[in-house]
Amino acid sequence: MLRNFLRPVKLPASADSGILILRVGMSLLMLTHGYAKLKGYMGGDSSFADPIGLGQEFSLILAIFAEFVCSILVILGLVTRAALIPLIITMLVAIFIIHAQDTFDKKEHGLSFLISYVTLFLTGPGRFSFDRNLFR
């Protein structure tokens, strides 16, 4: 069952190219956010929001894992659907908890990521991914 979950869906070549651009483009954009958090954390700054009561430092570590580590996995197309789950959760928390009281323009950035991640979750990583070779 896990193998079927991770296996890429066969798509037309043009769709595979579009998925590659979406997968790499959005992940590179998110990677910049994760890298900034990682750099700050490595420099001793562990201050961060605690939106769901796990503690500031642990919340920061989870955000770094999602935004940095999972973004790299999505770029590579390696265990893509599994890597998208923390990214989707992170965006849901950002939109509906961190920015719950903010105006739409404050939520729009997170919504753009969320829509892209859900789309990738539904389509899979496409032909141009490590997943394709791993789950033949």
pTM of the model: 0.89
Query: Which residues contact residue 8 at a Cβ distance below 8 angstroms, ignoring those fewer than 6 apart?
Result: 77, 80, 124, 125, 126, 127, 129, 131, 132, 135
DSSP state, residue 53? S
Alpha helices in 46-79 (DSSP H): 56-64, 71-76
> What Å distances lie between residue 53 and 26, 86, 109, CA to CA?
28, 17, 24
> CA-to-CA distance for 136 and 129, rounded, in angstroms?
12
Mean pLDDT of the chain: 91
- pLDDT per position as a tens digit, 86-100: 999 999 999 999 999
SS3 116: helix
**pLDDT confidence band for 10 (50 / 70 / 90):** confident
Higher pLDDT: 95 or 7? It is: 95
> What Å distances lie between residue 98 and 18, 53, 80, 92, 94, CA to CA?
31, 12, 26, 9, 5
Q: How far apart are the first and last CA of the chain?
A: 14
pLDDT at 4 over 70: no
* Range from 4-8, 101-105, 116-120 that averages highest in pLDDT: 116-120
Q: What percent of the chain has pLDDT over 70?
A: 92
> What Å distances lie between residue 120 and 20, 96, 117, 131, CA to CA?
10, 21, 5, 13
